[in-house]
Structure 1
Amino acid sequence: MSAEQCWKVTLPCTKAEGEAIAGDIGALAQLDEPPVLMTSEPDPTRPDDWRLDAYFETKPDKASLAMLRALVPSAAGRTLAVETVPQQDWLILSQAGLEPIRAGRFFVHTAAHADEVPEDAVAFQIEAGRAFGTGQHETTTGCLMMLDRMRRQGARFADVLDLGTGTGLLAFAALNLWPRARAIASDIDPVSIEVTLENAQANGVALGGGRGELGLVVADGMNDALLKAAAPYDLIIANILAGPLIEMAPAIADALAPGGTLILAGLLDHQAEPVARAYRRQRLRLADRIDRGDWPTLRLRKRQMW
């Protein structure tokens, strides 16, 4: 097959399955070249009947197809539609045409909507691109709303970590709310840090290690010397996935200062209690919650002492 082509696999799915895939692509994320997954609602008159399209760089093997099927149990027994299509940047196309969103004081938009910024809004221009976190997903919106709510309630923070930053958006918002803070945006994916750098420059976010500046770090969770050296943080934002959040609970809690605040997102409603339980074991308590559809955003506080 030509390098100008890729493989497309199509399966029917339910609305619930499609929304879950937006936050977790399961075992497919562990592949050397994970597919780009796009879900859609082909027929508005049948709102629960969605479609999943998966785009692979190379012909998917049986194991990859089995992982794909595991994401949509409702399609058990259905025939996979597999075809070759012209090669394109499917991640960018999947985010193209994004409508702006308003989350508290924040307005997140692409260049196409730059003339629509409300006068009372703090605007960030985040283009469709190679990393998660354009503000469109309910998890990102929920985090923006939680940050805005905390600022309105008088919260103050001096050392901030945006763990798994994606596009840098949540780190930008935190620095806007607490402009004298030191902030770090980290991600396991070097591409995300490249995108965050580009977005910081486009939005006038100062880079560096001082107060009012944003440091950028490629790191696997909290397992990084720079992140450990900058700890403890009085605010950590982690919009990731439920599994990694539970796995990293001891390390994240250890990096949080006594009395510090932790914002968790990237989890579905039924995952909120297991995630909160993992952090209760680390002496954090649930202080607030915002629900956006099936996607909760949790705010936790670390106890001052046992």
Structure 2
Amino acid sequence: MPSTSFKLNTGAEIPSVGLGTWQAQPGEVAIAVEHALRSGYRHVDCALIYQNEKEVGTGIANSGVPRSEVFLTSKLWNSFHDNVQKSIDQTLADLGVESVDLFLVHWPVRLVPNEGSELFPMNADGTRAVDKDWDQAKTWAAMEEVLAQGKAKAIGVSNWSIPYLEKLSQTWEVVPAVNQVELHPFNPQHELKAWCDKRGILLEAYCPLGSTNSPLLSDPELNQIAEKHGVSPATILISYQPARGVVVLPKSVSKGRIEQNLKLIDLDESDMEVLNGMAAKGKQQRVNTPLFGWDLGFDDWYPEQATAKLARGGYNKTW
């Protein structure tokens, strides 16, 4: 049977499937969260920048499921690296809870708020207002303080590459419990997974289905596996992540899809071999590549980088 939960390096259990709330509209997300919890979900992933955490809190409250049974994740937005306490306090107030189960550094990038915007500040020349001198060790030290205060039961990162993690490891006192990144067969990040596995950092997959315009769902190899098992391609993609030891975070506000996304199936070795090898066949593709104007340490962040790495054989390793 597929894994229904994984153990964090804190010893806590985290459900292997969570409801993603990114891009869910405020009028929809409360209903989606309530329905998900009533349908059996026990893991909800949210973030301050999604600007819908009040509705997430409403959905949890309306579900009738005790807070103690819900694994709740939120994230520190880029504008608050120098004031982590403000971010976590705002999140807790909006969610209507005393603590979150997991608090992540959303990106290893500090944005400098200005008169134009607190959340998405721009420079006068139209570039993103990134603090290129910021030391992420300061952010992590503040995250460790949040953990010590009990405002979060575990802390981790999101969208962190190996170079950034290696640098952080030189100063961290608490090893991140999680690294949440974009993961799917077209972007499996095998090397990152191997690095994190060795250090007890659990990966979480956002965008597990690719995107609306992604060719992933129509891929012939994927559809062949789906036909073999008599399920949808989406079910294969969602089941793929727990099968490789990764938490998966599909997002939907459709009640039917929310229910379907919780139904994992067993994948055999041949299925996994095909899914693990798709990117190496020239299909490497990312969905979410914000233009921060800053090197995030991923070789495949842009198509030309992916092409160069494939030419070097960087995606042909077996982990």
Normalising by structure 1, what TM-score? 0.31
Higher strand share: 1
Q: Which has the higher contact order (CA 8 A, sep 6+)?
A: 2
